[in-house]
Amino acid sequence: MKTILILAAAIALPPTAHALRQASDPHAVVTVGTASAKRGERAYGEIVVPAGVDSGTRIAVAVVNGSRPGPVLAVVSGAHGTEYASIVAVSRLIERIDPAGLSGTVILVPLVNVASFEQKVPHVNPIDGKSMNRFYPGNPAGTQTERASDLITRQVVEQSDHLIDLHGGDLDENLRPYSYWTVTGNAAQDSISRAMVIAFGLDHVIISSDRPKDPAASRYLENTASTRGKPSITAEAGYAGTVMPADVEALVSGSLNVMGALRMIDRPPQRKKNFLWFERVVTVVSDSAGIFFPLVDRDTWVTPGMKLGYVTDYLGRRRADAVAPEAGLVLYINAVPTMVKGGTVANIGILKKP
Ligand SMILES: [Zn+2]
């Protein structure tokens, strides 16, 4: 009898302030994989990709849940596990975000492609030979790359309002920093992502207008967020296995600048820069296999017919010259002697016509 009376009294009580806050705040607790952070907390964990048709993997994740409500931003890197500057940048960004001064939530995934990092294999996941930025939104019944992509889509992308995907020049890419701005055709969304690109602060921007529009076949991570209506960007810095402080800092401060622009943290906007906008990228491929010798550095303006490099056979006999087909900027050039027939010599950015 006594118990029933107490229960009745408990039910009749007005809800506590804590319960009210929980009910009105969908992000009172944010959980990604095994990381679960309440407001004002930073949590560490893993997205566990179970074994399937091949082995499983574990992808480290941190959740910084701000003391006040606001947007949810995902910052992801290491789809290509030897783009080291971006991986180091996101691992350092985790501690740079103070939950006490944060409005909203940041989900940080520094290294998607663990096997690539561990085995020092560029471009692909050595477990299944697939690029970890080409199989979104993923497939729970597919190979490791597809299963990981499926979990990242559901746990990271779908829980976020915005996403920043960080890359850089891979082991064999001598790359100058740049961002991508995806044009989806939704003017409101595109103006927000454009503001994110400008806030990030890399003053060379490639305009992507040819990305898939179908959310079920989005292929790229940033495109998975963009096709789900979430203004998002990709940024690249670092090259050829190096971890230059300026590249790491460009990616860390760029991400913080975007958080400032989204009013997640108190951070003054960057001083105005003159941005260069590239309307497309031309990939120059090699006619011949052999030993590659570059004749220009990254960030060189080239004119049509200008030699970018040449290839000799393994006995040193010159076999082919690689030339620029159009006027533009060398965004990256092959950084190593290895060259296969059809292999990438360079990516040339073509400036948007005024
Ligand atoms: Zn990459």
CA of 21 to the centre of ligand 1 (A): 40
- The string of pLDDT tens digits covering residues 157-173 is 999 999 999 999 999 99
Q: Two tokens at 211?
A: 């990305």
CA distance 127 to 142: 12
CB-based burial of residue 350 (10 Å sphere; 0-12 exposed, 13-18 middle, 19+ buried)? middle
Q: How far is the CA of 168 from the centre of ligand 1 (A)?
A: 6
Question: Is 345 in contact with 318 (CB distance < 8 Å)?
Answer: no
| C-alpha 312 – ligand 1 centre gap (Å) | 28
Distance of alpha carbon 72 from its chain centroid, rounded? Answer: 15
Ligand 1 centre distance from Cα of residue 323 (Å): 25
- pLDDT for the residue 74: 99
Separation CA 116–CA 110 (nearest Å): 13
Q: Where are the alpha helices (DSSP H) in 126-244?
A: 144-152, 187-200, 221-226
Give me the percent of the chain exceeding a pLDDT of 90: 90
Provide the b/e sequence for 197-228 (b: ≥16 CB within 10 Å).
Answer: bbbbbbbbbbbbeebeeebeebbbbbbbbbbb
Give the bridge partners for 302, in sequence order: 328
Can you give the pTM of this predicted structure?
Answer: 0.93
| pLDDT given for residue 128 in this prediction | 98
pLDDT tens series, the chain, 354 aa: 444 444 444 444 455 655 655 668 999 999 999 999 999 999 999 999 999 999 999 999 999 999 999 999 999 999 999 999 999 999 999 999 999 999 999 999 999 999 999 999 999 999 999 999 999 999 999 999 999 999 999 999 999 999 999 999 999 999 999 999 999 999 999 999 999 999 999 999 999 988 999 999 999 999 999 999 999 999 999 999 999 999 999 999 999 999 999 999 999 988 888 999 999 999 999 999 999 999 999 999 999 999 999 999 999 999 999 999 999 999 999 999 999 999 999 999 999 988
Cβ contact 36:63 at 8 Å: yes
Ion ligand 1 neighbours, Cβ < 5 Å: 80, 83, 167
Is-contact 102 64, C-beta < 8 A? yes
Encode pLDDT of 310-328 as tens digits: 999 999 999 999 999 999 9
